[in-house]
């Protein structure tokens, strides 16, 4: 049975709160400029990322009054958390390897563009405190081993709502329709920020919006499958957190001048790699039963 009240209430509350906050911020001058986004922009994103989970709480507690038993508040197997890091890392190596191969961006091993961008943002002449190769190595280790923990906690602000609350509500439509709907809803939720350069600074708006919508649909394939398989919105948060860690981590400073529509993790190259990863995951779990929601691990 389709819970229309729960679905429409959740989406309406999520979009109303998020869009209201973003429109106010944009009216006050929020923009995402070329290169690395400023502190204000990043803090604004962090705040808005909490809204989907807040909306799920409001909907389940006060509107449908159904509680939270179906929202996947369970960790699942530890091995999932361990082996997803190298899998997504390999995906990013493929993404930026192809970006470099097809001439859509190249690595800046001396981090000249990175220091130049920081200098413009701070208004001072910024220099690296250590040699660039050492800086890259340290940042790579941090991106791979530590950042996912922080980013997954932040991503829970979204995933408790998207994969915890909304996805199970959509499954009566059938898996294909549910995946498409949640991918499109997730993409549209970013619309005001996309309009001021989020993820695609300097790109044509009529290109960046459809590209991002396809990106959220393809990334949803991967996150949805693992989230449903293990009945866990926490696993979904972990996957989302890893993706954000790599997108915002060492790859973002090594490949600053990438064509945002075609190359990088959010462009056509990224979409292609994520779609392959999603399809492989779909095929792998096709014949495997879902984990019982009552089973604890």
pLDDT tens profile 257-271? 899 999 999 999 999
pLDDT tops 80 at residue 36? no
DSSP assignments along 175-226, one per residue: HHHHHHHHHHHHHHHTHHHHHTTSSSTTS-HHHHHHHHHHHHHHHHHHHHHH
Band of residue 287 on the pLDDT scale cut at 50, 70, 90? low
Residue 281 counted as domain residue: yes
Listed residue (47, 66, 69) closest to 9, CA to CA:
66
Do 180 and 278 touch, CB atoms closer than 8 A? no
> 128, 135 in Cβ contact below 8 A?
yes
Give the integer Cα–Cα distance in Å for 270 and 281.
16
DSSP structural state of residue 286: T
Q: What is the pLDDT of residues 56-76, one digit of tens each?
A: 999 999 999 999 988 999 999
- Over residues 224-255, the pLDDT tens digits come to 999 999 999 999 999 999 999 999 999 999 99
Average pLDDT, the chain: 92
Domain contains 34: yes
Question: Cα–Cα distance between 242 and 85 in angstroms, integer?
Answer: 7
Helix axes 4-27, 39-48, angle to 10 degrees: 160
Instruction: Count the domains in the chain.
Output: 1
Rg of the chain over all Cα atoms, to the nearest angstrom: 19
- Contacts of residue 64, Cβ cutoff 8 Å, sequence gap at least 6: 3, 5, 6, 9
Asked whether residue 294 carries a pLDDT value surpassing 70, the answer given is: no
Q: Assign 33 a pLDDT band (cuts: 50, 70, 90).
A: confident
Q: Using one digit for the tens of pLDDT, what is the confidence trace for 168-221? A: 999 999 999 999 999 999 999 999 999 999 999 888 999 999 999 999 999 999
pLDDT, residue 34, reads 61
Q: Name the nearest CA neighbour of 120 among 35, 247, 44, 31.
A: 35
The predicted structure's pLDDT at residue 37: 57
Indicate if the alpha-carbon torsion angle 282, 284, 287, 291 is positive or negative: negative
Residue with the two structure tokens 């429409």: 8
pLDDT computed for residue 293 by the predictor? 40
Domain that holds residue 210: 4-285
Residue 106: is its pLDDT beyond 90? yes
Nearest to 99 by CA among 271, 280, 241: 271
Cβ of 200: how many Cβ atoms within 10 Å? Answer: 21
Whether 292 is in a domain gets the answer no
Q: Would you say residue 290 lies in a domain?
A: no
pLDDT score of 296 more than 50: no
Rounded distance between C-alpha atoms, residue 14 and residue 16, angstroms: 6
Q: Give the side-chain half-sphere CA count within 13 A for 23.
A: 7
Looking at the domain assignment, is residue 69 inside a domain? yes
pLDDT exceeds cutoff 60 at 146: yes
3-class secondary-structure state, position 297: coil
Q: Within a domain: residue 79?
A: yes
Kindly state whether residue 295 falls inside one of the protein's structural domains.
no
Domain-located, residue 179: yes
Residue 293: Cβ within 10 Å count: 14
């Amino acid at each position: 049975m389709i819970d229309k009240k729960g679905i429409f209430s959740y989406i309406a509350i999520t979009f109303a709160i998020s869009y209201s906050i973003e429109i106010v911020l944009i009216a006050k001058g929020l923009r995402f400029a070329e290169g690395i986004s400023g502190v204000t922009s990043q803090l604004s994103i962090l705040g808005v990322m909490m809204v989907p989970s807040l909306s799920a709480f409001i909907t389940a507690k006060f509107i449908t009054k159904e509680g939270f038993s179906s929202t996947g508040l369970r960790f699942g197997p530890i091995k999932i958390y361990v082996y997803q890091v190298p899998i997504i890392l390999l995906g990013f190596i493929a993404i930026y390897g192809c970006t470099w191969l097809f001439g859509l961006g190249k690595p800046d091993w001396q981090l000249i563009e990175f220091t130049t961008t920081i200098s413009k943002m701070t208004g001072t002449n910024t220099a690296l405190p250590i040699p660039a190769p050492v800086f890259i190595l340290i940042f790579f280790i941090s991106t791979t081993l530590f950042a996912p923990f922080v980013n997954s906690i932040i991503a829970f602000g979204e995933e408790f709502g998207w994969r915890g609350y909304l996805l199970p509500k959509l499954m009566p439509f059938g898996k294909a329709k549910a995946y498409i709907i949640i991918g499109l809803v997730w993409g549209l939720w970013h619309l005001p920020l996309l309009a001021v350069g989020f993820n695609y600074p300097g790109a044509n708006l009529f290109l960046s919006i459809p590209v991002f919508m396809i990106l959220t649909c393809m990334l949803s394939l991967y996150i949805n499958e693992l989230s449903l398989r293990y009945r866990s919105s926490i696993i979904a948060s972990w996957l989302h957190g890893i993706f954000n860690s790599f997108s915002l981590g060492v790859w973002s400073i090594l490949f600053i001048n990438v064509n945002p529509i075609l190359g990088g993790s959010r462009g056509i190259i990224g979409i292609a790699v994520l779609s392959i990863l999603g399809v492989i995951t779909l095929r792998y779990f096709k014949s495997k039963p879902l984990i019982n929601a009552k089973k604890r691990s």
